[in-house]
C-alpha cells in the first residue's frame, strides 16, 4: 500500500515483509532546490528518448512520423509501480536522503509520465485524424 501526498510532502507506505506502516517526510526546500534537475530528468530525457525511438522507427520500420512518435512515447514512459517502492525503500534506509535523490527521482518519474501520457494522446489524435485537420489542435 502506498499513499503519496505531494502537497504536504509526506508519504506513508506499508512494508509487505513486516507489515508495519512507516512514515517519512521531506522538506519543501528539496523540490525548490532541485527544480531544474527534476524538470530535466522528467521532461528533457523523455523527449530525447522519444525522438531517438521515433527516428529509429522511421528508418527501421518505415513508419510515418506521428506513428513513430506514438511508439516512442509508449516506450519512454516509466513504471511508477517499480520506481516508487524502490525509492521509498532507499529513503527509509537513509540512502541518498541527504542529497534528496529519492525525492528527485520520484518527482522526475511523475513528470516523465505526465509528459509521455500527454504527448501520447496528442500523437494518437494526430494519427487517428484524417484530411486537412491533422495538424489542428482546436476542435
The DSSP 8-state label assigned to residue 132 in this structure reads G
Residue 111 lies in a domain: yes
Q: What pLDDT does 75 receive? A: 95
Residue 23 lies in a domain: no
Residue 96 lies in a domain: yes
User: Quick count: other Cβ atoms within 10 Å of Cβ 84?
Assistant: 19
Residue 52 lies in a domain: yes
**Assessment of whether the complete model's pTM goes beyond 0.95:** no
Domain ranges, residue 56: 28-130
Residues in the chain: 139
Q: Cα–chain-centroid distance for residue 110?
A: 4
pLDDT, tens digit, for every residue of 37-73? Answer: 888 889 999 999 999 999 999 999 999 999 999 999 9
Residue 32 lies in a domain: yes
Q: 79: closest CA among 33, 43, 111, 113?
A: 113
Q: What pLDDT does 27 receive? A: 55
Mean pLDDT over each residue of the chain, to the nearest integer: 78
Residue 98 lies in a domain: yes
- The mean pLDDT of 18-29, rounded to a whole number, is 49
Round to whole Å and give the CA distance between 3 and 6: 10
Residue 103 lies in a domain: yes
Round to whole Å and give the CA distance between 77 and 50: 9
- The mean pLDDT of 102-112, rounded to a whole number, is 90
Q: What pLDDT does 53 receive? A: 97
Residue 139 lies in a domain: no
Question: CB of 98 within 8 A of CB of 27?
Answer: no
Q: 24: closest CA among 105, 112, 100?
A: 100
Q: Which residues of 15-25 are buried (b: 16+ CB within 10 A; e: fewer)?
A: eeeeeeeeeee
- In the chain, the number of structural domains is 1
Amino acid at each position: 500500500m502506498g499513499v503519496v501526498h505531494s502537497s504536504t510532502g509526506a508519504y506513508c507506505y506499508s512494508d509487505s515483509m513486516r507489515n508495519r506502516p512507516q512514515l517519512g517526510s521531506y522538506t519543501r526546500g528539496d523540490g525548490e532546490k532541485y527544480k531544474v534537475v527534476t524538470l530535466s530528468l522528467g521532461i528533457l530525457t523523455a523527449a530525447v528518448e522519444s525522438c531517438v525511438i521515433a527516428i529509429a522507427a522511421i528508418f527501421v520500420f518505415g513508419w510515418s512520423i506521428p506513428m513513430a512518435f506514438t511508439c516512442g512515447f509508449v516506450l519512454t514512459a516509466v513504471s511508477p509501480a517499480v520506481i516508487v517502492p524502490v525509492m521509498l525503500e532507499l529513503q527509509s534506509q537513509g540512502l541518498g536522503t541527504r542529497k534528496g535523490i529519492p525525492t528527485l527521482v520520484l518527482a522526475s518519474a511523475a513528470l516523465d509520465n505526465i509528459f509521455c501520457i500527454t504527448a501520447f494522446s496528442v500523437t494518437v489524435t494526430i494519427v487517428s485524424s484524417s484530411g486537412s485537420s491533422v495538424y489542428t489542435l482546436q476542435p
